[in-house]
Amino acid sequence: MISFEWSVGGTFLFWNGPQPRICISDYEMVKKILLNKYGHFVKNDAHPTILAMIGKGLVLVEGAEWVRHHRVVSPAFAMDKLKMMTKTMVSCAECFIKEWQYQACNSKSIEIEVEFNKQFQELTADVICHTAFGSSYKEGKEVFHAQKQLQANLMATILNVQLPGFKYLPTKGNRCKWMLEKKMKNTLMQIIQSRLASKGNGYGDDLLGVMLDACFTTEQGQKQDEQILSMDEIIHECKTFFFVGHETTSHLLTWTMFLLSVYPEWQERLRQEVMRECGKENPNADKLIELKEMTMVLLETLRLYTPVIFMFRKPITDMNLPRGTPVVIPIPMLHRDKEVWGDDANEFNPLRFQNGVTKAAKIPHAFLGFSVGPRSCIGQNFAMLEAKSAIAMILQRFSFTLSPNYVHAPADQLTLQPKFGLPILVRPLDA
């Protein structure tokens, strides 16, 4: 039995099977946990299927291992690299948009219903395949499909109590997980070996190329005796970037389209901003950065419908908490706290972000859409540029409203997504 004296902010203890957990909804406690630079709080041990699905990459490693991984991966997210990747994002989005235009032109009503949740998952998978694996994007798609199968496996078993040694038993679920994990590893290994064999003048500007360049070449261009990351670690990083990059961004796009359909005044407001900055031309990175009102809408979407709804930590030393006790940070609860965000905390109001993230609420660290502190999301600029490019191109070409078939049922399926999809009626602006 664990007891403690905290009572502020709705902090409470609950049980997950035989394991006690502490839910913390006080911002000052959350700040101390997430901004801690001394390693007193670490990520919880990952569920075996989550580990198989996203790998032990930058999201899950700790301490010196995290520093080493971060040093290798971070150059891929420098702004000059992101600007180059934006061209790929726009090109991928254009393929989907042309298909919707074709379908609309061949529809009697010049209006079609598009299931955007599914379409955005396909789109962001395409973007990740191209930006992570370059010319090997078709093989990368096999990783995407394997991860989706593992995600379904996870959701079917996530509430099961993890008995000691159970993950080693040859059950049907475990055999399926092992098969999919092996498939992903073999596919990624083939992509990596192909890149190593035909590097030519370099390993490439995509994520894989940046990692291979860091691992096999010093700053002076000389070969290293030892890799910074091992081959297995590169595979883990590819899996992490692939899943986190496509899954979270696809749902950011989904919920943004939902809110713009519900609030047509903001849809029109963003359309005018896009036309003012980009005209009818496909946007580039410099133009996307100038879309201030779209930034506000995306941040407000993340506040109301953040893809990751819980963060988990545990103290590794006895502090105010018993060592090893899992801590749960409920992001939706914090993002809708009226004392911090105002009486309209449950309402869609992008103007709260007009002076930036730190001034959107009564305390500067209230927004947790990308987390805060040293472990904040390394890919947040990538995600924002990808979301902006897709939404901008849709606004340039279509008006849209919610389909009568839509049922509002946000569901936690590892990420927050509409349980029954997001059917939206789209109509070409020039129809």
Domains contained in the chain, CATH given: 48-308+369-428 (1.10.630.10)
CA distances from 259 to 212, 254, 267, 297, 304 (A): 40, 9, 9, 9, 10
- pLDDT at site 227: 57
Residue-level pLDDT at 4:
31
In the chain (431 residues long), the average pLDDT of successive 10-residue segments reads: 38 81 89 80 82 87 89 88 91 95 90 96 90 75 82 72 74 85 87 78 78 67 60 88 87 98 98 96 95 98 95 83 87 94 97 97 95 91 96 97 96 91 95 63
pLDDT the model gives residue 7: 37
**How far from chain centre, in Å, is Cα 121?**
11
Give, as one character, the DSSP assignment of residue 107.
S
Cα 172 to Cα 53, 149, 153, 166, 177: the distances in Å are: 17, 14, 11, 12, 9
How do strand 112-115 and strand 410-413 relate by DSSP bridges? unpaired
DSSP bridge pairs for 262: none
- Its pTM stands at 0.89
199 in helix, strand or coil? coil
What pLDDT, on the 0 to 100 scale, is given for residue 399?
97
